[in-house]
Structure 1
């Protein structure tokens, strides 16, 4: 198990709010726990809101909530976990005041998490040195230049730490934690209640969110549909150009403007995501999955899949099976 969770007792979470925090992200942390309690018929999960000084704290959208001070020793000691919800202006925040209490919680083996830029506090306190972690995508490059090692996963849950890139990924992360704590059945129930259609895993990357048809012109949607409907026998750019009635340069320009990547990378991502889905939702052999995903060479499929998801296909399937059977 990736977190030290006692499944035989209730679980108390502290949510540490930073001025200008995202209200939706805070809700994505708390609401799944409330829904889980309602589904179970008893209070398995409890939560408290904290800030550095305590008292009323205003979110980025101007809504105010009441918080307890982070210095409330006895209350902090009762927490099983603390997650930090911060603003986007990570470098303008008073870091020093937070480091001591966070280190004390870490010394007490309290689970520590960060939503979006919240992970920055844990990083600066030296509490992410031995785990995989991520942060708001806008700070990935900058932090890597500083020598930090955040990754592109939408969330990470390991070594008593849990971090996500923010936004809707905080809901993905909490559903995963509920699964680790109380089983897959409860996680699915909560996801269904919250109209969340997919239980995403830590191996998902932000690129899946970035590529969205909303606001695309009809010409780009037509090209995307051609790719979507020709996964097993990929079309060349010339063929797509002919079917869509668009010039190749025009297609490349549409992808650059609206998606930010080339048509070939987009197409490859679609094929790999299709393979990823088949790998975990079918009993097909890897060889068959490679063919159905448009790969004529098995070594090429292995290489592309590992680069995209971090593990070879067979190992990824094995680890996924172990995770869901836990």
Structure 2
């Protein structure tokens, strides 16, 4: 089980790279293991790298990594991490899924970084486990796998499964593993080498706080925005928002104009449209279902708002041809 002190050293943690993987997540995880060896003066970890077919894999930034072998070469390792990133649904092929199920039957500790939770869920390996995924993919992931226990934490380590949101969360996840296996002092020494002033734990959230995201610290305004974010499917009226925050509608308007240079209605609409874009790109929901999930009463109204904001229709966002003349956009 990941987190237990291994019986043999170095402990091999294999990395399975998938096309368009996140380089920052991969590098963050590997560098934590490398630095643990350096700071301890021992070979605590090794990090062999594999791909599905053994060929070099291109990351989302265009750089290529040459692996040591293919999936079969990775079969002797009992702890490994899937590294993915963009377009994860395109790499969930039958060969990879069947290999993952076989490794699960062998008792392997199986992890995923960034969007790789989608692959693990598709293989049926996250049922009964807590898991997480990058916040940008969270809404679509929950729509596709509503039965799973999905959190918005930086990472989750749950018995034989471990998942993280990607980015620098991979560093924190590995620092926590190092701490569990070899003590906090070593993990802190590794973090200090990377000028990482605090090791974030499993209860830290992924997204920056609203004040940090918006550059605004007005408590009433932040309260209204937080309420908006919780009510995207059934938007509240301007009067309801103002009442919940203890404001008049005129005060509400003035706050948004002063700090965000737009009306509350416009800001709310942009929140809903950005959520809709994530659902269009990451789920198989129909256009009308996406519209309803984001508080629009009709596909035609949704399509017009979407085109006005993003410059393209929802269908074009998905790379679909325009709807034939006379056919409703939401079909």
Same fold, TM-score > 0.5, yes or no:
yes
State the 1:249 CA deviation: 3.4
**RMSD over aligned Cα atoms:** 3.0
Q: Which residue in 1 is equivalent to 2:293?
A: none
Q: Which residue in 2 is equivalent to 1:76?
A: 75
Unaligned runs of 5+ in 2: 223-244, 272-331
Paired positions, count: 239
Alignment of 1:62-101 (within 5 A): 62-73=62-73, 75-77=74-76, 79-101=77-99
Alignment of 1:209-288 (within 5 A): 209-211=208-210, 213=212, 216=215, 220=216, 223=218, 248-252=252-256, 254=259
Q: Which residue in 2 is equivalent to 1:53?
A: 53
Alignment of 1:129-148 (within 5 A): 129-146=127-144, 147-148=146-147
Change over 3 Å in CA distance of 1:80–1:251 after alignment to 2: farther
Contact 1:17 1:49 in 2 (8 A): yes
State the 1:248 CA deviation: 4.6
Distance 1:60 1:161 in 2: 25
Distance 1:92 1:58 in 2: 14
Q: Which residue in 1 is equivalent to 2:324?
A: none
State the 1:190 CA deviation: 0.8
| Alignment deviations for residues 161-180 of structure 1 (CA, whole Å, 9 cap, x no partner) | 11011111111111111111
Distance 1:83 1:203 in 2: 21
Q: Which residue in 2 is equivalent to 1:275?
A: none
Distance 1:193 1:18 in 2: 29
Change over 3 Å in CA distance of 1:251–1:191 after alignment to 2: farther
Distance 1:186 1:198 in 2: 14
State the 1:148 CA deviation: 3.8
Q: Which residue in 2 is equivalent to 1:153?
A: 153
Distance 2:5 2:38 in 1: 20
Unaligned runs of 5+ in 1: 228-236, 240-245, 262-326
Q: Which residue in 2 is equivalent to 1:42?
A: 42
Change over 3 Å in CA distance of 1:80–1:11 after alignment to 2: farther
Contact 1:25 1:115 in 2 (8 A): yes
Matched position secondary structure for 1:68:
coil
Change over 3 Å in CA distance of 1:138–1:238 after alignment to 2: closer
TM-score calculated relative to the size of structure 1:
0.65
Matched position secondary structure for 2:82:
strand
TM-score calculated relative to the size of structure 2:
0.64
Q: Which residue in 1 is equivalent to 2:174?
A: 174
Contact 1:16 1:85 in 2 (8 A): yes
Distance 2:191 2:89 in 1: 34
Q: Which residue in 1 is equivalent to 2:118?
A: 120
Distance 1:211 1:195 in 2: 25
Distance 1:133 1:94 in 2: 18
